[in-house]
């Protein structure tokens, strides 16, 4: 799987170019499935935030993910998958060019990626692109840090570990997301980490990591 791990989505020309490179064709010819599941695990998310994501509202945060002009956008709700059988939903995933994983709580998303069987399927999708926003990116890391755990049932701060670094998103977007906060967060993680703003993405292909940015980022 090819990874484009972002804080705020496909927010500028450089990240857009990276996405098109990963897809190997124009966005307008690519078919997407959006995964809203992480939002249900975060207390600041709810029905209206999920609706905006799925409806590709013209608000900036949606324009940079589901509203990019895809050939089609479908919804893959992970909490439903265990009840319908892999023979039904796996073809949907295999036929998609890109999976768009929105933010929320990364531990909740991790739980349902495992429970649904999606996590186990990922190694069979070498050509598929994963575009993560916030928690949708952090879920691919070894740990998210206790700082970002909002789901009360999370056993710990661990995630899928498909990359060897952690991510501190929304750098300087909120008063509690400064570089000073990021440095404290990184202490004790035991893995390399990146603090990234809304204009930055981390591209990972075949184990090679590349930062794509028109904004601010720091490797911790």
The confidence score (pLDDT) of residue 62 equals 57
**DSSP state, residue 60:** H
d(CA 4, CA 210): 10
> pLDDT tens digits, residue range 164-194?
999 999 999 999 999 999 999 999 899 999 9
Query: What number of other Cβ atoms are within 10 A of residue 72's Cβ?
Result: 10
Q: Exposure of 45 by Cβ count < 10 A (0-12 exposed, 13-18 middle, 19+ buried)?
A: buried
Query: What does the chain come to in residues?
Result: 220
Q: Per-10-residue mean pLDDT for the chain, 220 residues long?
A: 96 97 98 94 65 57 82 96 96 98 96 98 97 98 96 96 98 94 94 98 97 97
pLDDT of residue 42: 72
Q: What whole-number distance in Å separates Cα of residue 61 and Cα of residue 190?
A: 32
Residue bearing tokens 């009840």: 83
Residue linked to tokens 């399927």: 121
pLDDT at 188: 84
Q: What is the per-residue pLDDT for 45?
A: 65
| Domains defined for the chain, CATH in brackets | 2-219 (3.40.50.880)
């Amino acid at each position: 799987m090819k990874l484009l791990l972002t804080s705020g989505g496909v927010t500028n020309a450089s990240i857009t170019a990276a996405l098109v490179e990963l897809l190997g064709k124009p966005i307008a010819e690519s078919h997407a499935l959006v995964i809203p599941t992480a939002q249900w695990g975060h207390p600041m998310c709810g029905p209206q935030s999920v609706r905006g994501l799925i409806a590709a509202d013209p608000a900036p945060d949606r324009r940079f993910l589901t509203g990019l002009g895809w050939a089609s956008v479908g919804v893959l709700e992970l909490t439903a998958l265990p009840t319908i059988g892999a023979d039904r939903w796996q073809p949907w995933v295999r036929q998609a060019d890109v999976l768009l994983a929105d933010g929320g709580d990364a531990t909740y998303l991790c739980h349902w990626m495992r429970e649904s069987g999606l996590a186990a399927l990922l190694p069979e999708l070498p050509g598929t692109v994963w575009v993560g926003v916030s928690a949708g990116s952090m879920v691919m890391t070894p740990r998210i840090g206790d700082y970002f755990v909002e789901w009360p049932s999370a056993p710990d701060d661990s995630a899928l570990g498909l990359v060897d670094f952690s991510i501190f998103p929304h750098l300087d977007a909120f008063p509690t997301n400064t570089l000073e906060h990021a440095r404290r967060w990184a202490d004790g993680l035991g893995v390399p980490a990146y603090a990234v703003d809304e204009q930055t993405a981390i591209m990972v292909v075949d184990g090679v990591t590349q930062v794509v940015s028109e904004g601010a980022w720091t490797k911790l």
